[in-house]
Amino acid sequence: MKYGVIGTGAIGGYYGARLAHSGQEVHFLLHSDYEHVRQHGLRVLSPQGNFHLSQPHIYKDARDMPQCDVVLVGLKTTNNHLLAQLLPPLLHSRTLVLLIQNGIGVEADVQQMFPGLWLAAGLAFICSAKTEPGVVNHQFYGSLNIGNYSCTDSKLIDQLLDELHAADIEAKSLEYEKARWRKAVWNMPYNGMTVALNCQTRDLMTQPDSRRLIYEQMLEVCNAATALGVQGVDEAFAQKMMQMTDDMVPYSPSMRLDWDFHRPMEIQYLYTRPLQMARQAGCPMPRLEMLEAELRFMEAQKTS
């Protein structure tokens, strides 16, 4: 298939580069590091083996990109308003758009922008960062869960999974709501806590008080998901996420990097939307509501 990547950062850059390295035709939209990648290519540093795309298909303007069968969106959700201009040149009547983004409610809002567009959620369990032009630093994990939101062609999803596997990416299909809320079990505690406490994941796990708070926050997400009728997001899964984080290298999640590099934080979809849904279901998340308030305060102080 022909792939497009909008948001060639730590996530879109990693999965797009792996697909290109495996022989797929991948077209990357770049912004600030376009000239660097044009001259030096795109490099991935990974414990699975480093590799270099010397002449990737790159573009400064989405209007110059071809129509694609699958578009990977790795933009921050704070930039989703740009999709109204960025997506249309890449679309044909059967294009699948995979939103590899954080939070709850993303697909519903993008579907309002593009009624009839085939959408799926991409839930990345990965430690990856892009802190210099043209270099993706993949540190740990790398699996990708696909939650079909509105694609009516199951064979297209199957083909995507096959091509991800061929690119040495662990990928599987999950029921959409289950996929989104499972990712929230990890995302909601660690993203905000590393910002609020100015630390990395390992610090939170080695201090008994913060470790207990992280687990209690995870259980709040699990209880909210259950109240909303989502199956398979339970205490056993929370324990699995704790163990996974214990096994990780010390890591700064995406929100911590956004804070460090003075970018807007993704509070709306990571916190506000799921917290609203939980309250409406009669299962509020008080610890995470407090964390959201702290993040809103910090964001306001930064911009005042």
pLDDT tens string 214-254: 999 999 999 999 999 999 999 999 999 999 999 998 999 99
For residue 37, what pLDDT is reported? Answer: 95
Average pLDDT over residues 121-130: 90
Q: Are 213 and 283 in contact (CB under 8 A)?
A: no
Residue 283: pLDDT band with limits 50, 70, 90: very high
Q: pTM for the whole thing?
A: 0.93
Q: Which of 29-33, 47-51, 197-201 is modeled with the greatest confidence?
A: 197-201
Characterize the bridge pairing of strands 118-132 and 96-99: parallel
φ and ψ at residue 70, rounded to 5 degrees: -135, 130
Average pLDDT over residues 12-39: 96
For residue 129, what pLDDT is reported? Answer: 85
Top pLDDT among 304 and 227 is at 227
The closest of 192, 228, 224 to 210, measured between CA atoms, is 192
For residue 148, what pLDDT is reported? Answer: 97
Residue 25, H or E segment:
strand 25-29
Statement: residue 43 has pLDDT above 80: yes
**DSSP type of residue 264:** P
**What is the spatial distance between Cα 163 and Cα 269, in angstroms, rounded to a whole number?**
29
**What is the spatial distance between Cα 299 and Cα 196, in angstroms, rounded to a whole number?**
11
Q: Are 165 and 73 in contact (CB under 8 A)?
A: no
Domain 178-303 fold: N-(1-d-carboxylethyl)-l-norvaline Dehydrogenase; domain 2 (1.10.1040)
Q: Could you give the C-alpha distances from 270 to 191, 192, 273, 289, in angstroms and in order? A: 9, 9, 7, 11
Is residue 183 annotated as a catalytic residue, yes or no? Answer: yes
For residue 140, what pLDDT is reported? Answer: 86
For residue 267, what pLDDT is reported? Answer: 98
- Choose the catalytic residue: 2, 155, 183, 302: 183
Q: Are 146 and 179 in contact (CB under 8 A)?
A: yes
Tell me the HSE value of 67 on the side-chain side, using a 13 A CA sphere.
5
Average pLDDT over residues 36-62: 96
**What is the spatial distance between Cα 283 and Cα 225, in angstroms, rounded to a whole number?**
9
Average pLDDT over residues 35-59: 96
Residue 127: pLDDT band with limits 50, 70, 90: confident
For residue 33, what pLDDT is reported? Answer: 92
DSSP alpha helix (H) spans, the chain: 12-21, 34-40, 83-86, 106-113, 154-166, 176-196, 201-206, 208-227, 235-247, 254-260, 267, 273-280, 286-303
Question: In 10 A of CB 280, how many CB atoms?
Answer: 11
Statement: residue 302 has pLDDT above 90: no
Integer Rg of the chain from CA: 19
φ and ψ at residue 227, rounded to 5 degrees: -65, -30
Q: Could you give the C-alpha distances from 113 to 2, 7, 81, 123, 283, in angstroms and in order? A: 23, 18, 9, 21, 30
Q: Which CATH number among 1.10.4100.10, 3.40.50.720, 3.40.50.300, 3.40.30.10 corresponds to the domain 2-174? A: 3.40.50.720
Q: Do domains 2-174 and 178-303 have the same CATH topology?
A: no
Statement: residue 304 has pLDDT above 90: no
For residue 130, what pLDDT is reported? Answer: 87
Structural domain boundaries of the chain?
Answer: 2-174, 178-303
Statement: residue 272 has pLDDT above 90: yes
Tell me the HSE value of 297 on the side-chain side, using a 13 A CA sphere.
8
The two tokens of residue 4 are: 């497009």
Average pLDDT over residues 185-211: 98
Q: Could you give the C-alpha distances from 94 to 97, 155, 193, in angstroms and in order? A: 10, 12, 40
Average pLDDT over residues 193-202: 98
Tens digits of residue pLDDT in 150-179: 999 999 999 999 999 999 999 999 999 999
Residue 99, H or E segment:
strand 96-99
